[in-house]
């Protein structure tokens, strides 16, 4: 007997679609489950720093650390080079302007002085010789001019006499013309000698003036060389304290080399480094204050340096009025620098969360403090205690202010009490 075999029913397109949709839904649910597990972090509430957002007065200041420095520092550079032969004052000593600190020697400079003195002596001799020659020529010129004038007047009288006699027909025409020609020649000779004498006088004045100028220049040069000899004695350029001295006996010092510095202690300034975040807000004449031994001292920003190095820029502050009695160079002070007036604001206590978020978002606790959500915020000014909240938070909100690095990429935090 033959057995009838039933034909297996095949899946249609509709059934295949349902199966595929089921797989997709299952896969999506699995991903959502995994995603939720990755974005949720569980921790104990006691391990976190919690702060409450509140309204209050925002004091627009920052706290900076500064070091005391002399109001003025004068650097000492070598005017001339030389070898150190004596060291008369040590670092840290008090000096008066003009005190000799170092003595140098320079044999080349001594040779320059001898050469300059020799050249000056030669120039003086040349000037004397030139003056004698001009004086002698001037005397000879005056003699020649006087002789020519005498001859001219004598021949003029002779000419006048012969002219009268010739008109009366008492002398010949030849005698008359000869006397006339002799007189005219004497006039020309006199004029030539006079012009030559005037030119000699002008040349004498010009030449002597030039020689005198050359001599004066050489004397000035020699005095400058003498001054360079004096500059081998390195002197204090102001009253103050010898801050440092980079020179030892026997050491060769080059011209222009930095030798040391003098700290002028008539007053002090405070040098401070400030985070570049505040570079647009820190200006000259901003007020500041510091507290020392229960007393407050007022300061003012005198100079803001434009360079930013390692994320900081430098400012100088000076005291307004009194300053601490025990102030010393190198002391460190904490200073409150006022950036603006106090205003009413929503205040968020400062915390290390800022290092993780850059102040762009924060974790906020729910009402029963069992969960935390991530919330976008906008922060304005800040001081040493608070951030000014502009958007994203309300009065009474409790937030996590401790560091977020341990939370990873969690979007939600479950708190256990």
The CATH code of the domain that includes 87 is 2.40.50.100
- Whether residue 352 sits in one domain with residue 278: no
Asked whether residue 347 is domain-assigned, the answer is yes
- Whether residue 351 sits in one domain with residue 325: no
Structural domain including 120 reads 108-230
pLDDT tens across 99-122, in order?
999 999 988 888 887 887 788 788
- Whether residue 209 sits in one domain with residue 150: yes
pTM of this prediction exceeds 0.95? no
- Whether residue 327 sits in one domain with residue 351: no
Residues 405 and 49: their CA atoms lie apart, in Å, by 14
Q: How far is CA 117 from the centre of its chain?
A: 41
Asked whether residue 132 is domain-assigned, the answer is yes
Asked whether residue 192 is domain-assigned, the answer is yes
Residue 35 pLDDT level (bands cut at 50, 70, 90) = very low
Residues 347 and 350: their CA atoms lie apart, in Å, by 9
- Whether residue 122 sits in one domain with residue 99: no
β strands within 255-294, DSSP E: 258-275, 287-292
- Whether residue 249 sits in one domain with residue 225: no
Residues 197 and 189: their CA atoms lie apart, in Å, by 12
In this prediction, residue 4 carries a pLDDT of 53
In this prediction, residue 157 carries a pLDDT of 93
Asked whether residue 334 is domain-assigned, the answer is yes
Given 338, 365, 388, which residue is the final one in a domain? 338
Task: Name which of 121-135, 267-281, 299-313 the model is least confident about.
Answer: 121-135
Upper half-sphere CA count for residue 125 (Cβ side, 13 Å):
6
- Whether residue 384 sits in one domain with residue 239: no
What does the mean pLDDT of the chain come to? 84
Q: Structural domain tally of the chain?
A: 4
- Whether residue 215 sits in one domain with residue 114: yes
Given 253, 287, 312, which residue is the final one in a domain? 253
Upper half-sphere CA count for residue 362 (Cβ side, 13 Å):
31
The CATH code of the domain that includes 271 is 2.40.30.170
Phi, psi (deg, nearest 5) at residue 61: -145, 165
Instruction: Pick 16 or 325 by higher pLDDT.
Output: 325
Residues 313 and 305: their CA atoms lie apart, in Å, by 7
In this prediction, residue 17 carries a pLDDT of 59
Is 267 in a helix, a strand, or coil? strand
Residue 188 pLDDT level (bands cut at 50, 70, 90) = very high
The CATH code of the domain that includes 393 is 2.40.420.20
Residues 367 and 408: their CA atoms lie apart, in Å, by 24
- Whether residue 225 sits in one domain with residue 117: yes
- Whether residue 295 sits in one domain with residue 222: no
Instruction: Pick 398 or 214 by higher pLDDT.
Output: 398
pLDDT tens across 218-239, in order?
778 778 777 888 888 889 988 8
Residue 30 pLDDT level (bands cut at 50, 70, 90) = very low
Asked whether residue 163 is domain-assigned, the answer is yes
- Whether residue 305 sits in one domain with residue 366: no
CB 396 within 8 A of CB 410: no
- Whether residue 245 sits in one domain with residue 224: no
Given 315, 338, 361, which residue is the final one in a domain? 338
Asked whether residue 316 is domain-assigned, the answer is yes
């Amino acid at each position: 007997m033959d057995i009838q075999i039933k034909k297996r029913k095949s899946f249609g397109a509709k059934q295949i679609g349902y199966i595929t949709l089921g797989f997709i839904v299952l896969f999506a649910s699995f991903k959502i489950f995994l995603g939720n597990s990755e974005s949720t972090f569980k921790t104990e509430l006691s391990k976190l720093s919690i702060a409450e957002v509140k309204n209050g007065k925002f004091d627009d200041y920052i706290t900076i650390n500064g070091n005391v420095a002399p109001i003025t520092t004068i650097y000492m550079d070598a005017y001339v080079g030389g070898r150190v032969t004596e060291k008369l004052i040590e670092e840290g000593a008090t000096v008066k302007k003009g005190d000799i600190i170092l003595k140098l020697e320079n044999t080349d400079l001594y040779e320059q002085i001898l050469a300059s003195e020799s050249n000056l002596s030669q120039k003086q001799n040349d000037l004397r010789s030139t003056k004698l020659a001009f004086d002698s020529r001037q005397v000879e010129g005056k003699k020649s001019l006087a002789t020519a004038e005498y001859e001219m007047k004598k021949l003029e009288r002779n000419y006048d006499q012969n002219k009268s006699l010739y008109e009366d027909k008492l002398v010949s025409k030849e005698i008359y013309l000869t006397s006339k020609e002799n007189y005219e020649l004497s006039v020309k000779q006199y004029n030539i000698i006079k012009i030559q004498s005037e030119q000699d006088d002008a040349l004498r004045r010009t030449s002597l003036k030039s020689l005198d100028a050359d001599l004066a220049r050489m004397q000035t040069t020699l005095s400058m060389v003498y001054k360079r000899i004096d500059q081998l004695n390195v002197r204090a350029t102001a009253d103050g304290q010898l801050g440092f001295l980079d020179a030892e006996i026997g050491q060769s010092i080059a011209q222009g080399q930095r030798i040391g510095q003098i700290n002028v202690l008539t007053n002090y300034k405070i040098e401070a480094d400030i985070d570049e975040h505040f570079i647009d807000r820190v200006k000259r004449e901003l007020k500041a204050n510091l507290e020392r031994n229960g007393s407050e001292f007022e300061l003012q920003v005198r100079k803001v340096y434009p360079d930013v190095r390692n994320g900081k820029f430098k400012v100088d502050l000076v005291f307004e009025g009194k300053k601490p009695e025990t102030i010393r160079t190198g002391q460190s002070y904490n200073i409150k620098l006022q950036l603006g007036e106090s205003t009413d604001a929503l205040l968020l206590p400062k915390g290390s969360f800022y290092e993780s978020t850059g102040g762009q978002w924060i974790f906020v606790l729910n009402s029963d403090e069992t969960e935390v959500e991530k919330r976008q915020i906008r922060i304005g000014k800040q001081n040493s205690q608070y951030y000014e909240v502009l958007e994203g938070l309300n009065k009474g909100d409790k937030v996590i202010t401790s560091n977020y690095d341990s939370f990873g990429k969690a979007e939600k935090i479950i708190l256990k009490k």
